Structure 1
Amino acid sequence: MLGKLFSTLENVSPKSLKFLTDPLNRLTRGRLWLQVLIGMVLGIATGLFVNPDSGFVSQPVATALGEWLALPGNLFLVFIQMIVVPLILASIVRGIAAATDVRQLKSTGLGLGFYFIISTIAAAALGIAIGLTLKPGDYVDRAVAPQVELQGPVGDLVAAQSEKIANAQDDDPATRLKELPGKITDVLPTNPLGSIVRGDMLQIVIFAIVLGVGLLSVPVESSKPLFELLGSVQEVSMAIVANVMRFAPVAVFGLLAQVMIKTGPDVLTGLAAYAAVVVFGMIVLLVVYLLTAMVLGGRSPIFMLKAIREPILLGFSTNSSAATMPVTVKTAEEVLKVRPSLSQFIVPLGATMNMGGTALYQALATIFMAQLYQIDLSASVLIALIATTVGASIGTPAVPGVGIVVLASVLSSVGVPLTGLALIIGLDRILERFRTSLNVTGDLVACVVMDRWTKSETPRAEEMREAARTEYIQAVKNEDVIVSS
């Protein structure tokens, strides 16, 4: 079977994700990130103006205006969430086919899993350390308690998550230990379609890996049609992303306006210190990523910053690391000179499993909430917080709006009240864009690190020449999957 797999790896070459960058490049050239920033500022100003505390409109009118202003943003979130699952699934399966040999596929998978876990643990520990040192919760007036209830789909998901965790906490340790083998088995997708419907990204990733390896184990004439079908799924998904992203500034404007209408200027002022600490933490994590790229990847920090500028800005604009994958792959291959067999495998996996920015934010937000409610977290609870944060970050859908739901599970696991989520949900709309940019940065750093340390049977120069030849044939003949002898 390994011989057949090795043969298939040499014969099938799906078109790279970077062929789908043109629509995204137009968004970057149009300075979508600047339009999003303007939308943020106008949304906050409009929300504060319409807020009932300003005295210009009554409470019922302000609430109704907030719902209508947020409608474009809610539709925007729905469309992005709609395409992420098929895009991730197709990209992972086709990315596996980019490997040049079995040993490289195996060593890359094992090394990448280890790297993802270690880097996510480091990000979560960094968030805890910064939170305990700077104490952002002490700067918030505790008299300004969150009176806004989480409503709509986010509120329903948070309530369901809270009930699920509360029920789990009622079990005694013996019961949990007895159920552990079953929970490990439950991670595997017995019903892949059900996992897709539920949006269970960890099961979807596992299914995609199994499907990709399975396709490489069958004759080319059997696997090529499915590779081509998944290529069409990628192309359609990116076409939807490119069209939906044109409305991102309007979406951001409406969502932030609604949040400011519900919260008001007092809450916004009180959370300024928290936002500053979070942004500082993300800057520190960015420095850690750059140092990692220098020490383990052999790339200077200045070169890395210049190289990854475009995917970072696009990640900030789209607020989805999955939507930026074509540009991320192109940057990795053409600017950072990462082998295509690695970039096309690492980036789709990293968009779902390498969430360093998300881990830092969840850990820091939990420390903030604990300080706000004057809850002391022991060393054992902090260790549990790191483990929970890592588990919650891996497999998180790479779409906007789910961060607050994931944070709910982390808060519940360490006994912090969920009512504080209403206090930070407005800032979360802003800060999650910085998290996305950091997640994209983490994927590119993973590419350069694995490119340096992963061995391959195929010499680098030969792989680069073969990839260039294949891409030329794909561009000239407009073929999605190239089969070579």
Structure 2
Amino acid sequence: MKVLENKGLLNNIGVQVVIAMVVGTLVGAMMGPTASIFAPLGSIFIHLIKMLVIPLVAVAIISGAAGLGNSSAAGKVGLLTLGFFGFTSAVAVALALFMGEVFQPGIGVDLSGVEGMFSNAYADKGDLPTFWATVLGMIPTNVFQSLNEANILQILVFCLFFGIAVSKLEKDRRDPLINGVNAIVDAMVWMINVVMKIAPLGVFGLMADAVGTFGFSALMVVFKLFVVYVVAILVYGFIFYPLMIKVFSKTSPLKFLSVMKKPQAVALSTASSMATLPVTMEVCEEELKVKNSTASFVLPLGATINMSGNAIYYGLVAIFFAQIFNVDLSMSAYMAIIITSTLGAVGQAGVPGPSFLVVAVLLSAGIPIEGLPLLFALDRIFDMIRTALNITGDAACAVIINDHIDVETKQENA
């Protein structure tokens, strides 16, 4: 992937975004609700990113599928990627349940001042689709409508299919098409790099508005949950994933953590795996030496279905409300939480916004849901943190699979 030749700004984006987050938080805390005057700065940034992300995802998946489709490793890469995402999501839920039981974030919470926020309005949002409904929902009947509606899973399925089809053409017809698609990818990345120049302004607006609107008082009600949640995210991001990198790849875990600071900062600011995708791809290819064909396949797929951070959130929220409402969870309830959280995490699109799939997780274990509005007000903060973990998992998967395929290729050629 080609990026801007002058990468000084992009290399410093992490520092700039962190500064913007701190300043935005302070301004929001001081100005209160009037800090919403800065909200348009964040909205402009997010709209510009969304304008470019869907076309980039489409052409990147086509490029990756076309690059892999003509090799013997194509099917193996797909299976390994899906297996990695499913396994890490399940482990993430298990970690969340363990930490929830150890630290008990829902014990001793004072609800006297917030009971007016309780609501059952979300009870009808807890239905998970059946298996066949999920499969049918992934297949577009009109791909242009899917693009227009930003239906990520349908776009993913069509572009994978199309990319593999391109790889099956004769070489003299295939190569010009692949070169053209790669040129579009480079052009889209250039555009997003230009948009990233205003990222600090956008982050400042988003943070000032979020903190000014909700303040820290709402956070205090769920403060213990928030602390446990952050600790779980840190354990998973700085211990579990680096350990997997150490065991299953040739890449240094310290180097991996060092170069991931830039996409993690962007993920924190945008709360969107999709919006962070160009930066994640650049870091994986340029810094971690992941092949373009692997990165273009694994990373867009991961930004769509790999949501370990969401899985941790679902598990901890389930424990939190079970403890608040004195619900004793059986082993079958724990299994229901793990299964529903894993399926929900995989089905959660990589875009920012309240996650109503947590409703399905609570209902699956018989946990009351009326306290959910306490969390939805702060969903942006939770979303920012879990997105940083999600994209870390995407990159870890790309590195591990890239090294695994390299080893197999060398063995075949030996």
1:370 aligns with 2:353: no
Cα deviation 1:115-165 (Å, max 9, x = unaligned): 111111111211122122211122531213264599xxxxxxx97x75354
Structure 1: give runs of 5+ residues left out of the alignment.
1-15, 51-61, 151-157, 169-175, 463-485
1:163 maps to which of 103, 119, 124:
124
Counterpart CA distance in 2 for 1:422 and 1:24 is: 42
1:41 equivalent to 2:22? Answer no
Deviation for aligned residue 1:319? 3.5
Q: Are positions 1:315 and 2:267 aligned together?
A: yes
After superposition, what is the alpha-carbon deviation per residue over 1:174-205, rounded to whole angstroms, capped at 9, x for unaligned?
xx9xx754553343223323333343322222
**TM-score, normalised relative to structure 2:** 0.84
How many Å apart are 1:384 and its aligned residue? 1.9
Residue 155 of structure 1 aligns with which residue?
none
Aligned-partner residue type, residue 85 of structure 2: F
Question: CA offsets per residue over residues 428-458 of structure 1, 9 Å max, x none?
Answer: 3233333222222212221232233336775
Please say if 1:77 is aligned against 2:46. Answer: yes
Larger of the two Rg values belongs to structure: 1
1:92-112 superposed Cα distances (whole Å, 9 cap, x missing partner):
111122338431111111122
* Residue 284 (1) aligns with residue 267 (2): no
- CA offsets per residue over residues 262-320 of structure 1, 9 Å max, x none? 54543232333222111100111020111111112244433332343333334334433
Relative distance call for 1:457 and 1:438 in structure 2 (3 A) is closer
Task: Tell me by how many angstroms 1:405 deviates.
Answer: 4.0
Compared CA separation, residues 300 and 182, structure 1 to 2 (3 A): closer
Structure 2 match to 1:103: 72
Call closer, same or farther: CA 1:183–1:267 in 2, change over 3 Å: closer
Alignment pair present for 1:345 and 2:297 = yes
1:132-281 matches, within 5 Å, as: 132-145=101-114, 147=116, 162-163=123-124, 165=126, 181=132, 183-220=134-171, 222-223=173-174, 227=178, 230-231=181-182, 233-235=184-186, 237-281=188-232
Alpha-carbon distance in 1 for matches of 2:322, 2:108: 13
Instruction: Supply the distance in 2 between the matched residues of 1:318 and 1:260 (Cα, whole angstroms).
Output: 15
CA-CA distance at 1:210 after TM superposition:
0.7
Letter in 2 for 1:138: I
Quick one: which amino acid aligns to residue 74 of structure 2?
A: L
Call closer, same or farther: CA 1:207–1:395 in 2, change over 3 Å.
Answer: farther
For the Cα contact (< 8 Å) 2:192–2:278, is it kept in 1?
Answer: no
Aligned to 2:255: 303
- TM-score, length-scaled by structure 1: 0.73
Aligned amino acid, residue 12 of structure 2: R
Q: Which amino acid aligns with 1:135?
A: Q
CA distance in 2, matches of 1:23, 1:421: 46
Superposed CA RMSD: 3.5
* 318-327 or 115-124, which deviates more: 318-327
SS of 1:394 mapped into structure 2: helix
Give, in whole Å, the separation in 2 of the partners of 1:279 and 1:113. Answer: 26
2:334 is matched with 382
Count of residue pairs the alignment pairs up:
411
Deviations 1:390-432 (CA, angstroms, capped at 9, x unpaired):
2222243323x23534444544554555553432345432333
Relative to structure 1, is the Cα distance of residues 232 and 102 closer, same or farther in structure 2, using a 3 angstrom cutoff?
closer
Separation (CA, whole Å) in 1 of partners of 2:123 and 2:48? 26
Looking at structure 2, the residues matched to 390 and 113 of structure 1 have their Cα atoms a distance apart, in angstroms, of 12
Structure 1 residue 252: deviation in Å? 4.1
Alignment gaps of 5+ in structure 2: none
Identity %: 29
CA distance in 2, matches of 1:218, 1:255: 46
Q: Which moved more, 1:23-32 or 1:124-133?
A: 23-32
Q: 1:68 to 1:330 in 2, by over 3 A?
A: closer
Q: Distance in 1 between the 2:187 and 2:117 partners?
A: 39
Letter in 1 for 2:124: E
CA contact (8 A) 2:309 2:389 kept: yes
User: Is 1:445 the counterpart of 2:396 in the alignment?
Assistant: yes
**Contact 2:203–2:270 (8 Å) recurs in 1:** no
SS of the residue aligned with 2:274?
Answer: coil
- Structure 1 window deviating more from structure 2 (402-411 vs 198-207): it is 402-411
